[in-house]
């Protein structure tokens, strides 16, 4: 008899079938660079070009700062284990507000935005922010961290969101994706934030799986398809898009809680970026305002729809 | 106070331009629905895309069918038959109602469900009466009907498969597969 020993057969792992990874952590520099590039592409020929160009510049500055930052130090083991055991998000947003390095990062971001072309209301808000007392800025950072943006100070909070996104993505990037656990329907497993949109991915090995995108820390996490990201219902889910268009961005509506979240079909258009294309598809938001559904996706650059 | 990011930042004109652009547009309903591939007992999960939503009183047309990436059996993959399901649904030769080709005839004709079920029951009864085995070679009482077989569908629930099994086995059908094997 032959002494040849081939690989042991594993009937559970046939072909190329692989389970889609639960979470995709951001690479901060790449995340902001991709957004900036996508905003530039979307700006060409769009009615929304002035805002898209402004955000392209903002993301390019986020990229420059994120690329120069050192990696975040690892979080204490005890805290990670406690969060994981209780199925809580791994990043503590409260702790982020009190982080000693945050005021300097915010100041750096506000400084970097100085040469960005913007309309007077935005420029005035930026100037006011740069002159604001540290305590005042810290209070506004807490609003951003709580995802509760006061509608009478949207521009100030938009700039601070841009700064905090850098820190959140940096901290998320330092985590071990294998330690992430689902913390609840429509909640980011890294920072606990709501999704800004979700994407049906074309990633090799995960084709057709859906990933919700966090607008705060840039993490993408797997969510079952045909499910409301606001309430978790799988009944009464529909998809709306403008007629006569091979739409790759649709509104996923839920008849149970009457809310909707954008879904982007990256399997049909790999160029789609959840944050940039969320702003770029403002027309869908305006059309959805005439329906019985309310927007549940949270995008710090697109508030009020 | 302006209530949107765009207006507050001073991009109100761009927002108004988008609003003007989309004003004449209408939203269309589409649906995505989970189902099970009807071909074999592997019972792969599929997602059926349709234009129009029957729940909103519209006519729904199936435009695309693909593997369900969330389904534990196939993780989004389909075999060539499953990948061609849309054409199966829309096939002009698809059987949509009972038809019969009578002895000596060369074509099928449509019959009612009542007529079809009556005829099936009649043929089953005649065959079972003629060939039923009530005892085996040792004289032990058995319930055995070996001249008729039954093949059931894959896309059934456990409950449907249970009922199917009971019906077939109560009649004594031996050659039986309800495709609940996998």
A40-66 pLDDT per residue, tens: 999 998 999 999 999 999 999 999 999
What is the per-residue pLDDT for B13? 95
Cβ within 8 Å, pair A240-B28:
yes
Is there a single domain that holds both residue B117 and residue B166?
A: no
The answer, for B32 touching chain A at a CB cutoff of 8 Å, is yes
Average pLDDT over residues A71-88: 91
Considering the domain boundaries, does residue B19 fall inside one?
no
Over the stretch B109-137, which tens digit does the pLDDT of each residue have? Answer: 999 999 999 999 999 999 999 999 999 99
Percent of chain B with pLDDT strictly greater than 90? 81
A180-295: same fold as A23-69+86-178?
yes
Is there a single domain that holds both residue B46 and residue B69?
A: yes
User: Domain residues of chain A, as ranges?
Assistant: 23-69+86-178, 180-295
Residues of A in contact with B9 (CB under 8 A): 51, 54, 118-119, 121-122, 125, 154-155, 158
Over the stretch A224-233, which tens digit does the pLDDT of each residue have? Answer: 999 999 999 9
What is the per-residue pLDDT for B41? 85
Q: Identify which of A66, A287, A297 has the alpha carbon closest to the alpha carbon of residue A194.
A: A297
In this predicted structure, the answer to whether residue A4 has a pLDDT above a threshold of 70 is: no
**Domains contained in chain B, number:** 3
A 147-176 residues with CB below 8 A of B? 151-152, 154-155, 158
Considering the domain boundaries, does residue B6 fall inside one?
no
Is there a single domain that holds both residue B124 and residue B146?
A: no
Considering the domain boundaries, does residue B11 fall inside one?
no
Average pLDDT over residues A192-215: 94
Is there a single domain that holds both residue B84 and residue B120?
A: no
Boundaries of domain holding B168: 132-182
| Locus of tokens 């970026």 | A273
Considering the domain boundaries, does residue B70 fall inside one?
yes
Considering the domain boundaries, does residue B12 fall inside one?
no
Cβ within 8 Å, pair A208-B69:
yes
Is there a single domain that holds both residue B103 and residue B81?
A: no
Considering the domain boundaries, does residue B18 fall inside one?
no
Is there a single domain that holds both residue B141 and residue B180?
A: yes
Is there a single domain that holds both residue B36 and residue B67?
A: yes
Considering the domain boundaries, does residue B9 fall inside one?
no
Q: Which of A13, A21, A239 to probe the B interface (max B CBs under 10 A)?
A: A239
pTM over 0.95: no
Average pLDDT over residues B131-155: 93
Residues of B in contact with A120 (CB under 8 A): 10
Cβ within 8 Å, pair A122-B26:
no
Over the stretch B65-111, which tens digit does the pLDDT of each residue have? Answer: 999 999 998 999 999 999 999 999 999 999 999 999 999 999 999 99
Cβ within 8 Å, pair B11-A119:
yes
What is the per-residue pLDDT for A3? 46
Average pLDDT over residues A296-304: 96
The answer, for A121 touching chain B at a CB cutoff of 8 Å, is yes
Domain A180-295 sits in CATH 3.90.1670.10: yes
Q: Give the pLDDT band of residue A2 (cuts 50, 70, 90).
A: very low
Considering the domain boundaries, does residue B34 fall inside one?
yes
Cβ within 8 Å, pair A240-B27:
yes
Q: What is the CATH number assigned to the segment(s) A23-69+86-178?
A: 3.90.1670.10
Is there a single domain that holds both residue B34 and residue B76?
A: yes
């Amino acid at each position: 008899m032959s002494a040849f020993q081939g690989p042991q057969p594993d009937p559970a792992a046939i072909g190329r079938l692989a389970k889609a990874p639960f979470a995709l952590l951001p690479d901060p520099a790449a995340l902001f660079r991709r957004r900036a590039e996508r905003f530039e592409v979307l700006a060409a020929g769009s009615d929304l070009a002035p805002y898209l160009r402004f955000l392209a510049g903002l993301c390019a500055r986020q990229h420059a700062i994120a690329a120069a930052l050192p990696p975040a130090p690892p979080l204490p083991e005890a805290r990670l284990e406690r969060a994981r055991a209780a199925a809580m998000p791994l990043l503590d947003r409260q702790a982020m507000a009190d982080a000693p390095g945050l005021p300097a990062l915010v100041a750096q971001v506000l400084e970097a935005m100085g040469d960005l072309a913007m309309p007077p209301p935005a420029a005035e808000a930026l100037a006011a922010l740069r002159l604001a007392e540290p305590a005042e800025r810290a209070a506004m950072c807490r609003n951003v961290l709580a995802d509760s943006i006061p509608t009478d100070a949207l521009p100030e909070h938009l700039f601070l969101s841009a700064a905090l996104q850098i820190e959140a993505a940096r901290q998320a990037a330092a985590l071990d994706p294998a330690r992430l656990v689902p913390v609840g329907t429509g909640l980011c497993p890294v920072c606990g934030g709501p999704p800004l949109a979700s994407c049906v991915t074309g990633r090799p090995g995960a084709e057709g799986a859906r990933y919700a995108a966090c607008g705060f820390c840039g993490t993408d996490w797997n969510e079952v398809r045909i499910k409301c990201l606001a309430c978790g219902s799988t009944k009464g889910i529909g998809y709306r898009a403008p007629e006569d268009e091979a739409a790759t961005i649709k509104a996923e509506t839920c008849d149970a809680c009457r809310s909707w979240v954008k879904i982007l079909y990256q399997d049909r258009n790999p160029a789609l970026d959840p944050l940039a294309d969320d702003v770029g598809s403002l027309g869908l938001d305006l059309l959805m305002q005439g329906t019985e559904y309310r927007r549940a996706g949270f995008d710090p650059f697109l508030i009020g729809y | 106070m302006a209530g949107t990011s765009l207006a507050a930042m001073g991009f109100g004109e761009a927002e108004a331009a988008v609003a003007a652009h989309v004003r004449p547009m209408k939203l269309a309903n589409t649906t995505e629905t989970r189902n099970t591939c009807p071909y074999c007992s592997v019972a792969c999960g599929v997602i059926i895309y349709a234009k129009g939503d029957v729940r909103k009183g519209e006519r729904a047309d199936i435009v695309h069918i693909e593997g369900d990436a969330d389904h534990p059996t196939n993780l989004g993959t389909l075999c060539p038959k499953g990948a061609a399901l849309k054409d199966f649904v829309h096939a002009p030769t698809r059987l949509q109602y009972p038809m019969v080709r009578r002895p000596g005839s060369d074509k099928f004709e449509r019959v009612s469900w009542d007529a079809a079920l009556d005829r099936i029951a009649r043929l089953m009864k005649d065959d079972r009466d003629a060939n039923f085995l009530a005892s085996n070679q040792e004289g032990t009482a058995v319930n055995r009907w070996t001249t008729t077989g039954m093949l059931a569908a894959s896309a059934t629930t456990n409950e449907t498969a249970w009922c199917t099994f009971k019906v077939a086995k109560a009649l004594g059908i031996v050659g039986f597969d309800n495709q609940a094997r996998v």
